[in-house]
Amino acid sequence: MKKTVLLICILLAVAAVYAINGLAKHYRKAPLKPLPENIAKDKLFKDRSFYEDERVVIYQRDLRAMVINKQTGQKIKINYIKKVERIRDKPAEAPPLVGVAVKDGIKLVNDDETNIIELEPRFGILASYPNPGNERDKIIIDKSTNTLYLYKDGRFYKSYPVATGKDPRYTPEGRFKIVNKVKDNGDELKPQLGDRWIGLGVPYAKDMRAEKDKRAPVGGKYGIHGTNEPDSIGKYASGGCIRMDNEQVAELFELVEVNMPVEIRGIDQAPDTAPPLK
């Protein structure tokens, strides 16, 4: 009897070893499978998906969202979403994001901002920009990122890096208009302004520059212009104006008109106020 029990125990032990080795080999050799389309909600946001198609699934919780590539499992965390649009075969010359072709992407919109995510050939954020609030041509300058956003017919057209005031008070915040455009033909603009000037109508109450500051041309003390200090672009470096790369401001000059609205937003106006995901 004792021999029989001992034999059974040995056989069970051997079977267990073979089973464990078999599982280990399976997991070592098994390829990474695509993320299942029916992802268990309790493994992510404990919420139902906000959007799902053949390429991505989007989960949302509170004021944050997670975009997941169903093939690779890659994740992108962004602010909450209200509207989803697929982008397919967008040519480079078409908005949004003129200058960049999008083979396959997704546009995610909320009340404050829009994110464009490329799905193929690379999974990642292509652009994030504030919503203009209307269907007109417009410029928004965000001092928190030192970025100028151009909109045509209410659609995001292109963005440019800029330099703003070395002191936060120097570059005024609010809603203004383009009051003039000056193209330098030799002696109209001083060297520090480059060869393009797009003047902004800033009321006296928002004028933080010295009354004797004569650097700006006729049309106001504040403007969007070129520079002879290209390394300052992207930094807080100006006396209050918005500096741009000389080639880029020349491009912008041809895309804007007098009376176009220009909104300058401060650092505390950035839309990303949601708590971080954990």
Decide which of 107, 130, 153 is a domain's last residue: 130
The pLDDT, as a whole number, for residue 138 is 98
**Please, what is the average pLDDT of the chain?**
81
**The last residue of a domain, from among 130, 157, 181:** 130
Residue 237 domain flag: yes
Say which range, 42-51, 73-82, 187-196, 263-272, has the weakest mean pLDDT. 42-51
> Exposed, middle or buried, 84 (CB in 10 Å: 0-12/13-18/19+)?
middle
**Active site amino acids:** 225, 241
Span of 62-66, 159-163, 231-235, 259-263 with lowest mean pLDDT: 62-66
Query: Which pLDDT tens digit goes with each residue over 59-105?
Result: 998 889 999 999 999 999 999 999 999 999 999 999 999 999 999 99
What number is the average pLDDT over the span 248-270?
Answer: 91
Average pLDDT over residues 35-41: 47
| CA distance readout (Å), 174 to 145, 153, 203, 226, 237 | 16, 21, 10, 22, 20
In this structure, are 200 and 103 located in the same domain? no
Are 153 and 225 found together in one domain? Answer: yes
- pLDDT value at 52 more than 60: yes
For residue 276, whether the previous peptide bond is cis, meaning omega lies within 30 degrees of 0, is no
Rounded to whole angstroms, the Cα distance separating 38 from 134 reads: 38
Domain that includes residue 94, residue range? 41-130
Question: Residues 126, 199: one domain?
Answer: no
Assign residue 223 the CATH number of its domain.
2.40.440.10
- The answer to whether position 24 is within a domain reads no
In a domain, 173, yes or no: yes
Please tell me the total count of domains within the chain. Answer: 2
* 101 found inside a domain: yes
Beta-carbon neighbour count of residue 234 at 10 Å? 15
| DSSP notation for 50-68 | EEE-SSEEEEEETTEEEEE
Tokens found for residue 91: 């040519």
**Tokens 């083979």 found at:** 103
On whether both 123 and 161 belong to a single domain, the answer is no
Which of 130, 164, 198 finishes a domain? 130
